Chain A
Amino acid sequence: MARILAVCETKNGALRKVSREAVAAARALAAAMGASVDAIVLGAGTPETAGLGEAGADRVLVASHDSFDRYAPDGYAATIAAQAKDGYAAVVLAATASGKDLGPRLAVQLDAPLAMDVTALAVEGGKVVATRPVYAGKAIQQVVLDGPPALVAIRPNTFAPVAAGKAGVVQSVAAQTGTVRVRVKELKAAEQGALDVGEASIVVSGGRGMKGPEHFHLIEELAKAFGNAAVGASRAVVDAGWRPHGEQVGQTGKTVSPQLYIAVGISGAIQHLAGMRTAKVIVAINKDRDAPIFKVADYGIVGDAFEILPLLAEAIRKARAG
């Protein structure tokens, strides 16, 4: 029977949410191909494997190595490639920061095509067909991959983890270090408790309409009122040095697909929209009724951000408390 390999990342020993999504995507492919799913988990010590069987893996392969406590580009690639050479039809990974680094390395080692940032998968005539946004989300492309194996890196938050399976068999496989050319020396964690704009389910972004860095506390307070929101920014304010690069949303920043995106004092330039138009719900607050952001916003308030933000934060706090 054909097999699909799903690559699972761990962080501090725990599976990342996106790993279950990769297994779910592999499961969907497997169903269309009549294949089985192996999940390969990389980490140090005894990485978490809980729930992978339930998420759709028939077998869980654990590759443990001391150097895998953080992302090890050459070791991860060598280990996964060694496994994937064993007759897999497809390899599914997540298009995270490490997945984007890893995917192309695997493609070379497996001499196989790679579709990046995939939002849907199908099988036609035995071949994997991947759907992916191109031109900054202004168009959607379907590509046919001539495997085996076909490599696909799925966009986080687009494949819902399934929960219908059984407990998968867990076994260990050999970890390889590969030829170590690149070393991750250190991870500088972002400010304590700060959520990554790319991962948060609610994002509150500020633009040039905030008038200066000293006013971004109003954005931060609204984010805090939601309890679990990240702060984002337009390129204009990042380039002005008001906010760090990591917060930039858009074509040359991050692409986000949160449940709720609130754009405050952001005009809605095409390059900004590229980064957030797939949010489930968009709210815009802008004093200019004709600002293009209102064309994509589900809900808009025409008004002065400085008046509205404190009231909105207060109302959200109340709504969540009540």
Chain B
Amino acid sequence: MKIAVCVKRVPDTETRIKVGADGASIDEAGVKFILNPFDEFAVEEALQRREKAGAGEVVIVTLGSDAAAETIRTALAMGADRGVLLKAERIPPDGLAIAQALAAELRGGGYDLILFGKVAVDDYNHQVGTMTAELLGLPCVTAAVKLEIADGSVTAEREVEGGLEVVGCALPAVITCDKGLNTPRYPALKGIMAAKKKPIETRAAALGPVRMSVKSLGLPPDRKEGRIVGEGPDAVSELVRLLRQEAKVL
């Protein structure tokens, strides 16, 4: 099985966001970057599929600056075979522009399966995987929490309001991965060493036209200072009174 996994370099989820001087992006000084957590599920899924099949190749594709090579290395350390860095000075806010570059790279690559994360935890665009599939004319199941592949067909489950949707399609297919699909492995020391020798190709990203621009970035309004109603069981009746009379939610 030949599998591609598209991954994004994003700020660590612990990061405290500071707005940059341009008022439209974050101040990256001191920010630690990680492999997008949802992409970890995608990498893990690809590795498990390759292991189960006993053969195949897992290719990591990322679009970003030179620094994104480090994100590819993380996935290689988990066990992927090689990487492709599509170089762009800045990752545009328009998901369609990114998807066009990824589709151009993946088209004709002979992949049986192309995996994405459900969403990137920086821009929360929630779109690049599905757009890439649509551009490639491939079936796409989004936000999969369960995936079965047999005889060239895919059965996946996705969470929807009030239940689970069971979705089917044929291979080759694009799947965007949600938490619950698997438990990503940590790169072992051996994997980290091996990753240093694995190949990463770099070429310029063929971005599509960018039709979404960031006008401003700001911090959300602080929640107003809360209060401790009291300690222990004695506080219960006061809490209920406040919920009813002050907050009016009862």
Contact = CB atoms under 8 A, between A and B. Distances in A.
Interface of A: 70-71, 73, 77, 95-98, 100-101, 103-105, 107-109, 111-117, 129, 132-147, 179, 181-190, 194, 196, 198-199, 202, 245-246, 248, 251-253, 259-260, 270-271, 274, 277, 280-283, 289, 294-304, 307-308, 311-312, 315-316, 319-320
B66 interface: no
B17 A135 contact: yes
Given A251-B121, A295-B226, A116 B159 contact: no
B122 A316 contact: no
Interface in B195-250: 211-220, 223-224, 226-233, 235-237, 239-240, 242-244, 247, 249-250
A140 B96 contact: no
Contacts, number: 265
The 10 closest A-B pairs by CB, nearest first: A181-B139, A104-B130, A146-B211, A97-B160, A245-B180, A108-B134, A104-B127, A186-B166, A113-B212, A113-B211
B232 A307 contact: yes
A190 to B, nearest CB: 5
Contacts of B164: 187-188, 190
Contact of A104 (B17, B131, B237, B249): B131
Interface in B115-171: 121-131, 134-135, 137-143, 145, 155, 157-170
A141 B161 CA distance: 26
19 contacts: A104-B95, A104-B134, A105-B131, A108-B135, A114-B96, A117-B124, A134-B123, A135-B17, A141-B123, A145-B212, A188-B157, A245-B159, A281-B247, A281-B249, A289-B228, A298-B227, A308-B233, A308-B236, A315-B237
A311 B164 CA distance: 34
Contact of A299 (B13, B126, B165, B242): B242
A302 B93 CA distance: 43
Consensus secondary structure, chain B interface: mixed
A259 B248 CA distance: 10
A237 to B, nearest CB: 14
Interface residues of B, number: 84
Given A97-B161, A140-B220, A182-B168, A301 B215 contact: no
A181 B172 CA distance: 11
B228 A320 contact: no
B172 to A, nearest CB: 11
B165 A143 contact: no
Nearest to B216: A142
A308 B232 contact: yes
Interface of B: 11, 13-17, 19, 26, 37-38, 93-96, 99, 121-131, 134-135, 137-143, 145, 155, 157-170, 179-180, 211-220, 223-224, 226-233, 235-237, 239-240, 242-244, 247, 249-250
A129 B215 contact: yes
Contacts of B235: 301-303, 308
A108 B213 contact: no
A188 B158 CA distance: 10
A139 B232 CA distance: 35
Contacts of B158: 97
